[in-house]
Amino acid sequence: MKILPLAVFGTLLVTGSPWAFAAPDWSKVPKRDIQVFHAGTTPIEWIMKKSDHSGRTGINKGESCVGCHEEKGGLNFDFKRLAGKDLEPVGAPKTMHFPVSVQAAYDKDHLYMRLTFKAPADEAAAAPREDKEPKHEVKAAIMLAGDKVPQAAQVGCWATCHTDVRSMPGADEKKKKYVTDANVAGGVFYDYIQWKSGEGGKGSTQIDGHVAAERVNKGGTALVKAEGENKGGVYTVTFTRKLSGGEGDLALAEGQVIPFGVAIHTDKTVYRFHHVSLGYTMGLGVAGDIKASKQ
Ligand code: HEC
């Protein structure tokens, strides 16, 4: 066997790595703050029922959640109502909303997304928590909408949030979130990636799945890695994703505008006991609520 000189070997290690990508210089990537909030029991059926939500009329005319509810970088919700017994029968967290700083960049093969936020840990004691180990302190997920999800650019993740999904009042405990008339091949699904912290700073994991007729926690091959860091309660979670992928992975390309939403579970909670964003759009090199910058 011929022994390679060390310098050559070192070069090969860098350029020949299966992860041949250069992480962006995040200090140069613009930040967009979005608010995540505790939405109580306001699934899409609630949103689209006029007697519950007068915003339905606007949605049917093409308006978006963000268009009506984002104001001066904050959300104009009545948080007392959202924390009240009618919309939150189990128990609302003390911190009803908090900001998440979103950054995105891409190169010819990869999309990079980074979320930075201070995670509160004050969910109501009655909120359900993970019954398996590890009990993840924090989980951060992004859902990217397929191009044929009806009204995805308006409603964000609400198309997966239904009144009969587990942890909604009276719902089947096994029923997971889903998209009505889902069709993975036809683009009616959400691509789903998640980072889970593990417990006590150990055992972090990632999920590359999708949400179609139900939530599936596997099958994706686009997510290269999800990494998280906790510095005094401030989490920085970075996703590196190939532009293309496998089952349940959207094929992304420069020029596309992709609707997406963010969900953060804190304080070891599960199911609907998360803080979610409204629906935003990400433009790959083109305008969007967030413009992913080219590397
Ligand atoms: C055309 C404007 C409009 C649009 C679009 C809209 N809403 Fe609303 N929404 C309202 C108004 C007005 C209220 C206040 C209560 C009411 O009149 O129903 C409200 C109330 C709410 C509430 C209850 C908290 C509160 O402040 O009363 C939630 C949660 C909510 N909207 C979520 C959404 C989501 C999620 C979407 C997108 C899927 C959305 N809204 C789209 C106008 C809108």
Nearest to 101 by CA among 33, 36, 37, 35: 33
Q: How far is the CA of 129 from the centre of ligand 1 (A)?
A: 28
Give CA separation, 64 vs 5, 8, 57, 119, 199, in Å: 60, 55, 11, 27, 37
How many Cβ atoms sit within 10 Å of the Cβ of residue 68?
14
Identify the band that residue 18 occupies on the pLDDT scale cut at 50, 70 and 90. Answer: low
User: Which residue in the block uniquely carries the two structure tokens 């979103």?
Assistant: 102
* Res 5 pLDDT > 70: no
Q: Which residues contact 192 (CB under 8 A, 6 or more apart)?
A: 141, 142, 143, 207, 208, 209, 210, 211, 215, 220, 248
User: What average pLDDT is seen over the chain?
Assistant: 93
Mean pLDDT of 192-220: 96
CA-156 nearest atom, ligand 1: 38
Rounded to whole angstroms, how far apart are CA atoms 90 and 41?
A: 10
Rounded to whole angstroms, how far apart are CA atoms 97 and 194?
A: 20
Q: How far is the CA of 56 from the centre of ligand 1 (A)?
A: 8
CA 136, chain centre distance (Å): 16
Which residues form the pocket of ligand 1, taking CB atoms under 6 Å from any ligand atom? 39, 42, 47, 53-55, 58-59, 63, 65, 67-69, 77-78, 81-82, 155, 158, 278
Rounded to whole angstroms, how far apart are CA atoms 240 and 289?
A: 20
Q: In this predicted model, what pLDDT tens digit does every residue of 21-80 receive, in sequence order?
A: 778 999 999 999 999 999 999 999 999 999 999 999 999 999 999 999 999 989 999 999
Rounded to whole angstroms, how far apart are CA atoms 252 and 235?
A: 27
pLDDT of residue 7: 46
Q: How far is the CA of 91 from the centre of ligand 1 (A)?
A: 21
Q: In this predicted model, what pLDDT tens digit does every residue of 131-181 receive, in sequence order?
A: 999 999 999 999 999 999 999 999 999 999 999 999 999 999 999 999 999
High-pLDDT (> 70) share of the chain, %: 93
Name the residue at shortest CA distance from atom 18 of ligand 1.
53
Give CA separation, 241 vs 111, 230, 245, 263, in Å: 5, 21, 9, 18
pLDDT of residue 20: 59
CA 54, chain centre distance (Å): 26
Contact status, residue 30 vs residue 103, Cβ threshold 8 Å: yes
Identify the band that residue 19 occupies on the pLDDT scale cut at 50, 70 and 90. Answer: low
Burial code (b: 16+ CB inside 10 Å, e: under 16) for 156-165 equals bbbbbbbeeb
User: Which two three-digit tokens encode residue 145?
Assistant: 């909408």
Q: What is the largest CA-CA distance in the chain?
A: 77
Pocket test for ligand 1, best of 68, 79, 97 (most atoms within 8 A of CB): 68
Q: In this predicted model, what pLDDT tens digit does every residue of 233-263 receive, in sequence order?
A: 999 999 999 999 888 999 999 999 999 999 9
